[in-house]
Amino acid sequence: MKKHIPNLFTLMNLFSGMIAVIMAATDELVLAALFVFLGIFFDFFDGFFARKFNVAGELGKQLDSLADVVTSGVVPGIIMFQMMLYSAKGQWFMELSCEVGDWRDYQDTYFYFLPFSGLFITLAAAYRLANFNIDERQTNSFIGLPTPAFAIFVLSLPLILYYSDNAFFLELLQNFYVLLGITILGCYMMNAEIPLFSLKFKNYNWKGNETKYLFLFGTFIMLLTLQTIAIPLTILFYVFLSVIENRIKK
């Protein structure tokens, strides 16, 4: 029975992702974000139990990537599509009830087809996950930004629009070109040859884990002071620390 426990968590990740797809497609962006976060929670524990029970295998590896394509690929793509759709029309998106099927209502703008560029996130995530399965370098660290990390970044954007009163970020995230820039940069970062540290601890000593502890401490402080705005900043902080660590090692 032990070998099936990690796969059960992986399937719960996929189940959460499928619910998130439905929520995102019907304009329930906050609920979509919550189900993606739940899926990523299950994704963490499938690997944890696979290592704990020493039952990691090829089936679990492939199943994990298939689940992540939905949770961390399809959902962020739809979310970005929706946000681009709203910004293209120049309307405050909480006042607009627009489902994916209503994109034709925007043909009077020159942004007619541009919101579909948000779905490039799904393509880049699928490519990264397929590449991850055959890349033997990514055992104790990552090459490129992990798909769940960028999914968290994208899914945090509607949360900021709903729950933050920071005028700067509210205006920034309703700008189509900012969203397009985030999409392009995220697609690149997921597949870039940039080493990023993993949060897996071999031991809990300070020495050798300085970057990880600094990241956890910085994340805690940001969440405490900035609330939802801290979520995407945490991902940027993660990339920044990884780049600094790489330079120090060199």
Domains recognised in the chain with CATH numbers: 2-194 (1.20.120)
- Name the band, by pLDDT with cuts 50, 70 and 90, for residue 139: low
pLDDT digits (tens, 9 = 90+) for 172-215: 888 888 999 999 999 999 999 888 988 877 777 878 788 889 99
* CA 61 – CA 77 distance, rounded (Å): 23
Is the pLDDT score of 93 beyond 60? Answer: no
Structure tokens at 35: 């189900």
Residues 6+ apart with CB under 8 A from 44: none
- For residue 70, give the DSSP letter: I
Q: Are 5 and 59 in contact (CB under 8 A)?
A: no
Of the two residues 247 and 90, the one the predictor is more confident about is: 247
Of the two residues 92 and 32, the one the predictor is more confident about is: 32
- Name the band, by pLDDT with cuts 50, 70 and 90, for residue 103: low
- Name the band, by pLDDT with cuts 50, 70 and 90, for residue 108: low
Residue 189 is predicted with a pLDDT of: 94
214 φ, ψ to 5°? Answer: -65, -40
Q: In 3D, which of 28, 247, 67, 42 has the Cα closest to residue 155? A: 28
